[in-house]
């Protein structure tokens, strides 16, 4: 009986997305608080290497510039971009730089994190590949600020819209002024810290940045 073997197609959407994710993860590591200004949209990963105890399992994998375990993965798409329009669709804007700068300001505003402990990788890429590249990296690493601690990427909802519950991220890392106006959560910082320690203690951290995409 002849085996039904599907030939590898390097131009398959999933394989192209994997190549984008791998390219970002192979990129240079930059200090999050001191980024060179640049243009374009794309994807990024943020790494933590500080001494906040609940993140010990992440931090030890990111020491000495290793950047092996992202704490957060995200994307920045140009406003009103024409899908599939190439890098030109982002015009001369700086959505990726601006997004990373916003994250740096969020970290600077809180009392128990230090911006010097954070670094990042990023990739400027055609906006058609941004969502797929981001989703593949999140699925592979399950970063704690994406999967368990919500709210890091949130913006100020604006006056009159503070009826929502305070994000878990802001309970664990207090300091953003707008978050203090939101309704209190029933969980304490210690409750959330314990959740983080259990989550990371049970996590399986990939040892390679290569992506194996199933053919189905």
Tell me the C-alpha distance between 5 and 122, whole Å.
36
> Mean pLDDT throughout 124-130?
89
Phi–psi pair at 128, nearest 5 degrees: -65, -25
Tell me the pLDDT tens digit for each residue of 49-107.
999 999 999 999 999 888 999 999 999 998 765 444 444 444 569 999 999 999 999 99
Q: What is the pLDDT of residue 83?
A: 47
Q: Is 170 left (phi over 0), alpha (psi -120 to 50) or beta?
A: alpha
Domain map of the chain by residue range?
13-146
Element at 57 (helix H, strand E): helix 56-59
> Which residue would you say has higher pLDDT here, 191 or 85?
191
pTM above 0.85, yes or no: yes
How distant, in Å, are the alpha carbons of 10, 25, 61, 108 from that of 99?
A: 31, 18, 24, 14
Percent of the chain with pLDDT over 70: 82
Tell me the pLDDT tens digit for each residue of 171-182.
999 999 999 999
Contact status, residue 137 vs residue 120, Cβ threshold 8 Å: no
């Amino acid at each position: 009986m002849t085996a039904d073997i599907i030939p590898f197609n390097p131009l398959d959407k999933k394989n192209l997305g994997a190549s984008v994710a791998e390219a970002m993860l192979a990129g240079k590591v930059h200090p999050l608080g001191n980024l060179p200004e640049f243009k374009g949209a794309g994807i990024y990963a943020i790494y933590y290497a500080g001494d906040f105890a609940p993140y010990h399992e992440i931090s030890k994998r990111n020491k000495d510039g290793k950047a092996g375990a992202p704490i957060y993965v995200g994307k920045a798409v140009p406003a009103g971009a024409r899908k599939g329009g190439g890098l030109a669709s982002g015009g001369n804007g700086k959505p990726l730089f601006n997004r990373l700068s916003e994250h740096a300001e969020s970290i600077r505003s809180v009392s128990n994190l230090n911006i010097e402990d954070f670094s990042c990788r990023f990739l400027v890429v055609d906006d058609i590949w941004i969502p797929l590249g981001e989703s593949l990296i999140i699925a592979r690493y399950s970063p704690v600020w994406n999967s368990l601690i919500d709210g890091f990427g949130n913006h100020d909802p604006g006056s009159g819209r503070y009826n929502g519950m305070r994000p878990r991220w802001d309970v664990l890392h207090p300091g953003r002024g707008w978050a203090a106006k939101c309704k209190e959560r029933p969980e304490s910082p210690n409750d959330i810290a314990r959740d983080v320690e259990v989550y990371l203690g049970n996590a399986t951290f990939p040892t390679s940045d290569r992506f194996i995409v199933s053919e189905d």
